Chains A and B, each alone.
Chain A
Amino acid sequence: DAGVTQSPTHLIKTRGQQVTLRCSPKSGHDTVSWYQQALGQGPQFIFQYYEEEERQRGNFPDRFSGHQFPNYSSELNVNALLLGDSALYLCASSLMNEQFFGPGTRLTVL
């Protein structure tokens, strides 16, 4: 059983650009959450998708948006990138109250 997978592994963008990160959940998991982990910090909750709808959202601006597909995979989109968006972006899929995390995508904004 494959775990949570994320792509790409690393990404370099410039300020003002847009980026899309992808996540495939564990088999059987229907809920996907996204987290931002800045250097030296704990992960911060961005939002969560269930049944293709955004169910919860953390304190992130509208530049951060997402999507969940019928196969439960998910995308995180960030528009108008800022230097401060540089971080490790973690995806987690859920079964009951336990989340399983992917390896993350390291985004660098120059």
Chain B
Amino acid sequence: AQSVTQPDIHITVSEGASLELRCNYSYGATPYLFWYVQSPGQGLQLLLKYFSGDTLVQGIKGFEAEFKRSQSSFNLRKPSVHWSDAAEYFCAVVFSSGTYKYIFGTGTRLKVLA
């Protein structure tokens, strides 16, 4: 079955520290991959996306993600976290081109310590 796993439910980091949020997906073919951020009571904001090409993609707010086909992973990174980055982060995958059906992970809640 097609699935997306975010192994870390909660992550706490200090402001200024680096961050990595993990995302793994099932399925053999290369899917389309996304990371979204959601602040409390808000909708989803797209941070970055991967369709093809360079496996290291840059997004907004200083985030980047790397697609690793061999590991079926698409981990999100940020070199220095700001207090405003505290939010919930969702990895999403489109397994079949043209379907627009997103499969979301369960999310990782990020807490930033001052």
Contacts and interface: CB of A to CB of B under 8 A. Distances in A.
B43 A97 contact: no
Contact of A97 (B98, B103, B106): B98
A73 interface: no
B102 interface: yes
A31 B100 contact: yes
Interface residues of B, number: 25
A104 interface: yes
B5 to A, nearest CB: 11
Contacts of A90: 43-44
Interface stretch (A13-21, A36-44, A60-68, A78-86): A36-44
Nearest to B94: A97
Contact of B102 (A31, A45, A102): A45
A41 B101 contact: no
B84 interface: no
Interface of A: 31, 33, 35, 40-45, 48, 56, 58, 90, 92, 94, 97-104, 106
Interface of B: 4, 32, 34, 36, 41-46, 49, 51, 90, 94, 97-107
